[in-house]
Structure 1
């Protein structure tokens, strides 16, 4: 029987400060995306005096975490979609939420060296999956990476959707790390890797470079071979890595976003995204113009509220949007039929209810890979694959058990 998975998120009974500290870290990719200070509004209207108290507590926690704390404003009017998404995740000032940091009778709020603030920051930093390890890619680009699970267990590389923070795949890390050595990373060139803000220098956005990152992550953690579990566009990266290296000894490709020419149809969402990414990838000026449109609050209308602060990340600044257009645009337009030579055992998973990535693409991939099996689930949308619900984890572990027969750590 599989041992209980580590807790992904805040443990029950956590203090208000710890829960807010965790929320700050959960939105850190956006808070560190640009040079300006983010604005967020309290969860409900508060008095000017209370706003100062909340700001003081928020600042102290942010400093303890080494993050640029957001600026509290009285109302959400005029805030961008990214600022609204962060504000909703922080929920500062909510009666049931940790945003109530500080004493309402004390305008100064708690002192930064208050043991409760320091302890809250420490617990948040060390909560699963822990702080990132910054590793070099093979071309020198810096990657934010994570590893969890027994070091000598069979390895699983979780390849998330392009441009998404690690929080979107953390449920998979938690579910699999009791039995496997699980590693993952965030997309090259889209996340701040140092102490400052911004994503650093531009990077190679080719499929080859992105697939090499998987192998570089294995190198960085001393892993010789691994199963690659790819989600959405991450399935393309996983397949590309398997096609170029036998170090990927098996695959599971979940709700893949495949370009297959006229061999398989695409959804309206896929076609719209391709057009958007092609437009913003033309240059910084085009990206800046589209960023103004995507910053409108209505952008959040189509996003799952509990995931919006992850999904909005690559739209946070014009520069991020430009790079996202290059990185994800390349993944969405590279003909994957050239990659269907990979002979590794492969599980292909989709659902007839996926209106984001057309299930016909996964059917084609499963039919043409030499050693693939297809599972078309009766229910479940695209984003639901990231939730790592028990029936999905059971399916993943069933396949993993069939292709990994003993613990190992190759060097």
Structure 2
């Protein structure tokens, strides 16, 4: 994922550049929470510098058009969400800011890949926050991320593929607040049908006739459903998919636990609020990878987000995928025996059942490394994409 280094700052160095990039990277949360977000510095600030840190933070957030954030001296009493944002911001005592440095930092952050969202209407009118990159006339790839995850989690995939492909992605319907401060908007439909229709709506929004669908985790299910719905999805790659397959494949303890949680919180606002209080405890961060915790915690940031996540991801995790496995498009199915999040047996069954699928079981990597877009995975994706998009190789 691109870092602030090009703008003269490195993550956590206290510069306006690093701060601007980190603020945009955590904006999905600060826009979604109803109250002013509290954050603590990376380490105790020298006496008298807390107000200077707040002043710099205020100037940069204002210039970026983001909600105000309050600096507190110590992390004690902060929620898991506030701690995750604090760790990403990594506030330090600000040094001297050169003339024009703040303005340049803000311009660079706003222009950084993957850039600002483009709003595309879903077929039921729900606004979808979308991104597009790469040559307009190149073969298209729709990156279908895991439900509820901010775009930053797949930014490396977008950057790795955009040199050769027209790459599009979007954030889950109803789970991300608009930049204009109007809030989450209505969740008109949470079904898997609606989420698979969103794949096609995004293609429509960017004038793309057909695309390869690259699905990650629950996004693999959405990609499968979109391919079953339309031959505009010409091929698939399904990475560490989280599938419901009845008795055909076991599930991990994590899958069973998350399904139970989603069922509970989707029942109503009272249940979601009660579970949110438990998830807000700082101990929640112990189970999240530190460098991406601010992404992973997004759908748990408020009771309403959690309730909607229960509906949306619950629809994905409970959908019996066996009815989608006659999908005729060529497919690459990728998993790892080290995945303790989504059971690799599910991917193996899917690959064995799809008419034109190839299974690759990677020797290394867990569930989350699939999102990292590392060199070996990108090379595998490019090899498969080449086989299904180069005219003389298609169908071989």
Aligned to 1:366: 351
Query: CA–CA distance in 2 between the matches of 1:78 and 1:34?
Result: 17
Query: CA–CA distance in 1 between the matches of 2:95 and 2:202?
Result: 41
Q: SS of 1:32's equivalent?
A: helix
Aligned to 1:293: 278
Query: CA–CA distance in 2 between the matches of 1:282 and 1:64?
Result: 40
User: Would you say the 8 A contact 1:40–1:76 is kept in 2?
Assistant: yes
User: Would you say the 8 A contact 1:259–1:334 is kept in 2?
Assistant: yes
1:388 and 2:373 correspond: yes
CA RMSD of aligned residues (A): 1.5
1:56 and 2:55 correspond: yes
Deviations 1:303-323, CA, capped at 9 Å, x for gaps? 100000000000000000000
Query: CA–CA distance in 1 between the matches of 2:243 and 2:3?
Result: 31
Aligned to 1:240: 225
Deviations 1:35-75, CA, capped at 9 Å, x for gaps? 20000001111245200000000010000000013100010
User: Would you say the 8 A contact 2:252–2:342 is kept in 1?
Assistant: yes
Deviations 1:238-270, CA, capped at 9 Å, x for gaps? 000000000000000000000001111000000
1:91 and 2:90 correspond: yes
Within the candidate set 124, 143, 164, 1:139 is matched to 124
Query: CA–CA distance in 2 between the matches of 1:70 and 1:169?
Result: 26
Extract unaligned runs of 5+ from structure 1.
1-6, 94-99, 104-109
1:357 and 2:357 correspond: no
Aligned to 2:32: 33
**Aligned-pair CA distance for 1:366:** 0.6
Within the candidate set 234, 240, 264, 1:279 is matched to 264
Q: SS of 1:261's equivalent?
A: coil
Displacement over 6 Å in runs of 4+: none
Aligned to 2:161: 176
Extract unaligned runs of 5+ from structure 2.
10-14
Aligned to 2:12: none
Question: How is 1:4-403 mapped onto 2 (pairs within 5 angstroms)?
Answer: 8-12=2-6, 14-15=8-9, 16-47=15-46, 49-93=48-92, 100-101=93-94, 103=96, 115-196=100-181, 198-403=183-388
**Aligned-pair CA distance for 1:193:** 2.1
**Aligned-pair CA distance for 1:115:** 2.6
TM-score by length of 2: 0.95
Give aligned pairs, total. 387
User: Would you say the 8 A contact 1:227–1:250 is kept in 2?
Assistant: yes
Query: CA–CA distance in 1 between the matches of 2:233 and 2:21?
Result: 34
